[in-house]
Amino acid sequence: MSVSEDRSWTARIRGRAVGALPPERLLPDKQPSYVASWIYIFGVLSLASLVMLIATGCILALKGPGWWHFTGVGHFFNSMHLWSVELFFFFMVIHLWGKYWMAAWRGGRARVWMTGAVTFLVAIPCALTGYVSQQNFDAQWISTQAKDAMNSVGVGAFFNLLNFGQMYSYHVLLLPVAVVGLVIAHVLLVRRHGVVPPFELREIAERPAQPPEQAQQADPAQPAGPVPPAQREPQT
Amino acid sequence: MAAVFNLNHHASYVHWHFFQMAVPNVIVIIVMLAVFVAAIFAPFPRHGGGDSSS
């Protein structure tokens, strides 16, 4: 690398980006053998639902409420948008359950877990602002109920759920940008740290049992019994 | 075309002490639990090209 490249901020960013995520890790053509399980597909199913959500949402935004309420094609895309969000949360919650029970924060994957958890939390108001942006009596009912909920927890001064313009802006711009940004960060972190492996159940089962008194003598600070896999996992 | 489900009536709720939830939501949660369990125990199809690992 020449001196001019060292001083160039684009070259430094490129070097750091390629160092953190080499192309073969960013777009791998092989996966670990333990990924061959149905429980590992719910992340990508959530991603597919998100793509459908954004695509149908863009079409709805282009055409407007009159189109999605009063035409057959509009009803179709409105329903596609609704069922995409239903499936998005359906798959995302199962993804969350699976990753929680396999302690997906192991092996230096705390940021992977946190970006996923925050994405879930941000997606909830993203969906809520969509329900109050429908421009029908259903939206009016939901917004009045949600307004009371916001007031009851002390944040009613910051959001007016009866304000269609404000809720629509949140729904089509601010919150989707946040969700997509978090999802991109989440996927890049997964690619950087790799997919979390399952617990090593066989190794735990075959390890000879250690008497509790010996374990206490060896290290009083450590609990007796086999070391949990989360602690044995090498840091990546 | 008629709707598969007739929605022209009040929603049904499951109510037990403090717990109250619409029947469709209860059904969705049960289906999610069933899919979760099935995803853990259902065999995953493997390609004939050999096992890959990285």
Question: What is the DSSP code string of A112-155?
Answer: HHHHHHHHHHHHHHHHHHHHTTS-SHHHHHHHHHHHHHHHHTT-
In a domain, A170, yes or no: yes
Shortest CA gap B6–chain A (Å): 17
Q: Do A30 and B54 touch (CB under 8 A)?
A: yes
B45: closest chain A residue by CA? A36
**Tens of pLDDT, residues A24-38:** 999 999 888 888 999
Span A136-182, pLDDT tens digits: 999 999 999 999 999 999 988 888 999 999 999 999 999 999 999 99
Find the residue in B nearest to A34 (Cα).
B53
Q: Which of B32, B38, B40 sits opposite A90 (nearest CB)?
A: B32
Q: pLDDT digit string (tens) for A18-70?
A: 999 999 999 999 888 888 999 999 999 999 999 999 999 999 999 999 999 99
Sign (positive or negative) of CA dihedral B10, B16, B19, B23: negative
Task: From residue A60, give the alpha-carbon distance in Å to each of A41, A53, A75, A152.
Answer: 29, 10, 10, 32
**A225 assigned to some structural domain:** no
- Residue boundaries of the structural domains of chain B: 11-41
User: pTM score, two decimals?
Assistant: 0.81
Considering only CB atoms, which chain A residues are within 8 Å of B40? Answer: 37-39, 98
Distance of alpha carbon A96 from its chain centroid, rounded? 8
Residue A221 has pLDDT above 60, yes or no: no
Distance from CA of B29 to the nearest CA of A (A): 9
**pLDDT exceeds 80 at position A101:** yes
Q: Is A15 among the domain residues? A: no
- The domain tally of chain A equals 1
> At a CB cut-off of 8 Å and minimum separation 6, what does A77 contact?
A56, A59, A60, A63, A68
Residue A93 placed within a domain: yes
Q: For residue A3, tell me if it sits in a domain.
A: no
**CATH code of the domain containing A92:** 1.20.810.10
- A16 is a domain residue: no
| Cα–Cα distance for residue pair A226/B32, rounded to 1 Å | 33
Res. A90: pLDDT tops 90: yes
- Residue A220 confidence (pLDDT) above 70: no
The answer to whether the Cβ–Cβ distance between B36 and A97 falls below 8 Å is: yes
- How sure is the predictor about B8, in pLDDT bands with cuts at 50, 70 and 90? confident
For A144, the domain range is 37-197
Q: Is the pLDDT of residue A222 over 90?
A: no
How far apart (Å, rounded) are the C-alpha atoms in residues B52 and A34? 10
> If interface means Cβ-Cβ distance under 8 Å, which residues of chain B face chain A?
28, 32, 35-36, 38-40, 42, 44, 46, 51-54
Which pLDDT score is estimated for B48? Answer: 57
CA distance A75 to A86: 16
In this prediction the ipTM stands at 0.79
A chain contacts of residue B42, beta-carbon cutoff 8 Å: 38
Chain B residue numbers with beta carbons less than 8 Å from the beta carbon of A38 are 38-40, 42, 44
State the average pLDDT over residues A87-93.
Answer: 97
Is the pLDDT assigned to residue A5 strictly greater than 90? no
pLDDT for position A156: 86
Nearest to A153 by CA among A123, A173, A125, A134: A125
Write down the pLDDT at residue A200. Answer: 74
Instruction: Check pLDDT > 60 for residue B53.
Output: no
